[in-house]
Amino acid sequence: MDAKRLFDIFFSLIGIFFLLPVFLLVAILLKREHKGPVFYRQTRVGLNQKCFQLIKFRTMCPDADKMGLLTIGDHDARITKVGCWLRKHKVDELPQLLNILKGEMSFVGPRPEVLKYVEMYDSSQQRVLSVKPGITDWASIKYIDESSLLATAEDPESFYIHNVIPSKISQNLEYIDHHNLWIDFKIISYTLKSILLK
Protein backbone atom coordinates (compact mmCIF):
# COMPACT_ATOMS: atom_id res chain seq x y z
CA MET A 1 0.00 0.00 0.00
CA ASP A 2 1.55 3.30 -1.10
CA ALA A 3 1.79 6.54 0.91
CA LYS A 4 -1.04 8.21 -1.02
CA ARG A 5 -3.48 5.40 -0.19
CA LEU A 6 -2.44 5.42 3.48
CA PHE A 7 -2.99 9.18 3.53
CA ASP A 8 -6.44 8.74 1.98
CA ILE A 9 -7.53 6.03 4.45
CA PHE A 10 -6.21 7.84 7.52
CA PHE A 11 -7.70 11.25 6.77
CA SER A 12 -10.99 9.97 5.35
CA LEU A 13 -11.57 8.01 8.58
CA ILE A 14 -10.72 11.07 10.68
CA GLY A 15 -12.93 13.26 8.49
CA ILE A 16 -15.91 10.92 8.69
CA PHE A 17 -15.56 10.62 12.48
CA PHE A 18 -15.36 14.34 13.20
CA LEU A 19 -17.91 15.33 10.57
CA LEU A 20 -20.63 12.94 11.74
CA PRO A 21 -22.49 15.79 13.54
CA VAL A 22 -22.39 17.81 10.30
CA PHE A 23 -23.71 14.83 8.34
CA LEU A 24 -26.57 14.46 10.81
CA LEU A 25 -27.43 18.17 10.73
CA VAL A 26 -27.43 18.27 6.92
CA ALA A 27 -29.62 15.15 6.80
CA ILE A 28 -32.15 16.78 9.14
CA LEU A 29 -32.20 20.01 7.11
CA LEU A 30 -32.64 18.16 3.83
CA LYS A 31 -35.45 16.00 5.20
CA ARG A 32 -37.24 19.02 6.66
CA GLU A 33 -37.10 20.83 3.33
CA HIS A 34 -37.98 17.97 1.02
CA LYS A 35 -39.05 14.33 1.24
CA GLY A 36 -36.37 13.19 -1.18
CA PRO A 37 -33.27 11.16 -0.22
CA VAL A 38 -30.43 12.70 1.79
CA PHE A 39 -27.75 11.42 -0.57
CA TYR A 40 -27.44 11.76 -4.31
CA ARG A 41 -25.61 9.05 -6.22
CA GLN A 42 -24.41 9.45 -9.76
CA THR A 43 -22.45 7.07 -11.95
CA ARG A 44 -19.01 8.46 -12.73
CA VAL A 45 -16.03 7.01 -14.57
CA GLY A 46 -13.00 6.28 -12.43
CA LEU A 47 -9.64 4.54 -12.57
CA ASN A 48 -9.13 2.46 -15.73
CA GLN A 49 -12.60 3.47 -16.99
CA LYS A 50 -14.31 1.59 -14.18
CA CYS A 51 -17.65 3.16 -13.24
CA PHE A 52 -18.63 3.79 -9.62
CA GLN A 53 -21.34 5.59 -7.67
CA LEU A 54 -20.16 9.04 -6.57
CA ILE A 55 -21.93 10.14 -3.36
CA LYS A 56 -22.99 13.70 -2.53
CA PHE A 57 -25.58 15.34 -0.35
CA ARG A 58 -28.65 15.93 -2.50
CA THR A 59 -28.87 19.58 -3.51
CA MET A 60 -31.57 19.35 -6.17
CA CYS A 61 -35.12 18.12 -6.43
CA PRO A 62 -35.35 14.36 -7.08
CA ASP A 63 -34.75 13.31 -10.72
CA ALA A 64 -33.32 16.76 -11.54
CA ASP A 65 -30.52 15.19 -13.57
CA LYS A 66 -33.10 14.03 -16.11
CA MET A 67 -33.42 17.69 -17.09
CA GLY A 68 -29.69 18.04 -17.75
CA LEU A 69 -26.34 16.98 -16.30
CA LEU A 70 -24.87 20.47 -15.96
CA THR A 71 -25.75 23.03 -13.30
CA ILE A 72 -26.17 26.43 -14.90
CA GLY A 73 -25.70 29.45 -12.63
CA ASP A 74 -26.34 29.90 -8.92
CA HIS A 75 -30.10 30.15 -9.40
CA ASP A 76 -30.79 26.90 -11.25
CA ALA A 77 -34.47 26.27 -10.46
CA ARG A 78 -33.72 22.62 -9.66
CA ILE A 79 -31.52 23.53 -6.68
CA THR A 80 -33.21 23.59 -3.28
CA LYS A 81 -32.63 26.37 -0.74
CA VAL A 82 -30.58 24.11 1.52
CA GLY A 83 -28.85 22.71 -1.55
CA CYS A 84 -27.79 26.20 -2.62
CA TRP A 85 -26.01 26.74 0.71
CA LEU A 86 -24.42 23.29 0.58
CA ARG A 87 -23.08 23.95 -2.90
CA LYS A 88 -21.79 27.41 -2.06
CA HIS A 89 -19.66 26.06 0.78
CA LYS A 90 -18.87 22.72 -0.94
CA VAL A 91 -20.49 20.83 1.94
CA ASP A 92 -22.35 18.68 -0.59
CA GLU A 93 -19.00 17.08 -1.51
CA LEU A 94 -18.26 15.73 2.00
CA PRO A 95 -19.91 12.29 1.51
CA GLN A 96 -17.20 11.55 -1.05
CA LEU A 97 -15.06 10.71 1.97
CA LEU A 98 -16.91 7.38 1.75
CA ASN A 99 -15.79 6.99 -1.87
CA ILE A 100 -12.22 7.63 -0.73
CA LEU A 101 -12.45 5.10 2.10
CA LYS A 102 -13.79 2.50 -0.35
CA GLY A 103 -10.80 3.11 -2.62
CA GLU A 104 -12.84 4.52 -5.52
CA MET A 105 -11.42 8.02 -5.15
CA SER A 106 -8.54 9.93 -3.61
CA PHE A 107 -8.41 13.33 -1.93
CA VAL A 108 -6.51 14.72 -4.92
CA GLY A 109 -6.91 13.63 -8.51
CA PRO A 110 -8.85 14.49 -11.67
CA ARG A 111 -12.51 15.10 -10.91
CA PRO A 112 -14.52 12.08 -12.13
CA GLU A 113 -16.73 12.76 -15.13
CA VAL A 114 -20.00 11.19 -16.26
CA LEU A 115 -19.85 8.59 -19.03
CA LYS A 116 -21.54 10.86 -21.58
CA TYR A 117 -18.57 13.23 -21.63
CA VAL A 118 -15.87 10.61 -21.09
CA GLU A 119 -16.99 8.94 -24.31
CA MET A 120 -15.98 12.15 -26.10
CA TYR A 121 -12.34 11.94 -24.91
CA ASP A 122 -9.71 11.30 -27.55
CA SER A 123 -6.94 8.75 -26.97
CA SER A 124 -4.57 11.26 -25.34
CA GLN A 125 -7.28 12.64 -23.04
CA GLN A 126 -8.17 9.16 -21.80
CA ARG A 127 -4.90 9.16 -19.87
CA VAL A 128 -6.69 11.06 -17.08
CA LEU A 129 -8.36 7.72 -16.31
CA SER A 130 -4.99 6.16 -15.48
CA VAL A 131 -5.14 7.51 -11.89
CA LYS A 132 -7.84 7.55 -9.24
CA PRO A 133 -10.22 10.48 -9.48
CA GLY A 134 -10.23 12.94 -6.60
CA ILE A 135 -12.35 15.37 -4.63
CA THR A 136 -10.15 18.23 -5.80
CA ASP A 137 -7.46 19.10 -8.33
CA TRP A 138 -5.93 22.16 -9.99
CA ALA A 139 -8.90 22.36 -12.35
CA SER A 140 -11.37 22.38 -9.44
CA ILE A 141 -9.63 25.46 -8.06
CA LYS A 142 -9.63 27.22 -11.44
CA TYR A 143 -13.28 26.38 -12.07
CA ILE A 144 -14.61 26.81 -8.55
CA ASP A 145 -17.38 29.01 -10.04
CA GLU A 146 -18.00 26.74 -13.01
CA SER A 147 -21.80 26.97 -12.87
CA SER A 148 -21.63 30.78 -12.99
CA LEU A 149 -19.23 30.59 -15.93
CA LEU A 150 -21.58 28.27 -17.81
CA ALA A 151 -24.45 30.68 -17.17
CA THR A 152 -22.65 33.31 -19.27
CA ALA A 153 -22.32 30.99 -22.29
CA GLU A 154 -24.80 31.11 -25.16
CA ASP A 155 -24.75 27.31 -25.32
CA PRO A 156 -23.56 26.05 -21.89
CA GLU A 157 -23.15 22.40 -22.83
CA SER A 158 -21.22 23.19 -26.02
CA PHE A 159 -19.00 25.57 -24.05
CA TYR A 160 -18.43 22.88 -21.41
CA ILE A 161 -17.52 20.25 -24.01
CA HIS A 162 -15.27 22.38 -26.20
CA ASN A 163 -13.70 24.75 -23.67
CA VAL A 164 -13.99 23.58 -20.08
CA ILE A 165 -13.31 19.86 -20.52
CA PRO A 166 -10.13 20.32 -22.63
CA SER A 167 -8.82 22.90 -20.16
CA LYS A 168 -9.49 20.62 -17.20
CA ILE A 169 -7.90 17.61 -18.89
CA SER A 170 -4.80 19.63 -19.79
CA GLN A 171 -4.32 20.55 -16.13
CA ASN A 172 -5.04 16.99 -15.03
CA LEU A 173 -2.45 15.54 -17.39
CA GLU A 174 0.07 18.03 -16.04
CA TYR A 175 -0.77 16.80 -12.52
CA ILE A 176 -0.37 13.16 -13.55
CA ASP A 177 3.09 13.87 -14.96
CA HIS A 178 4.23 15.90 -11.93
CA HIS A 179 2.54 14.79 -8.73
CA ASN A 180 3.62 13.80 -5.24
CA LEU A 181 2.30 14.17 -1.70
CA TRP A 182 3.71 17.69 -1.43
CA ILE A 183 1.78 18.74 -4.55
CA ASP A 184 -1.32 17.09 -3.09
CA PHE A 185 -0.95 19.10 0.12
CA LYS A 186 -0.64 22.29 -1.93
CA ILE A 187 -3.78 21.50 -3.92
CA ILE A 188 -5.75 20.71 -0.75
CA SER A 189 -4.59 23.94 0.94
CA TYR A 190 -5.37 26.05 -2.13
CA THR A 191 -8.79 24.40 -2.39
CA LEU A 192 -9.63 25.23 1.23
CA LYS A 193 -8.39 28.77 0.71
CA SER A 194 -10.55 29.18 -2.41
CA ILE A 195 -13.64 27.94 -0.57
CA LEU A 196 -13.04 30.28 2.37
CA LEU A 197 -12.44 33.27 0.09
CA LYS A 198 -15.57 32.45 -1.89
- Judge whether residue 16 has pLDDT over 80: yes
**What's the pLDDT at 43?**
96
Query: Average model confidence (pLDDT) for the chain?
Result: 91
**Where are the chain's structural domains?**
3-197
First-to-final CA distance of the chain: 36
Per-residue pLDDT tens digits for 142-163: 998 888 888 888 998 999 999 9
**What's the pLDDT at 185?**
94
Instruction: State CA 160 to chain mean position distance.
Output: 16
Q: 106: helix, coil or strand?
A: strand
Secondary element (H or E) of residue 39: strand 39-45
For range 190-194, the mean pLDDT: 93
- Judge whether residue 50 has pLDDT over 70: yes
* Continuous H helices in 43-145: 81-88, 96-101, 115-118, 138-142
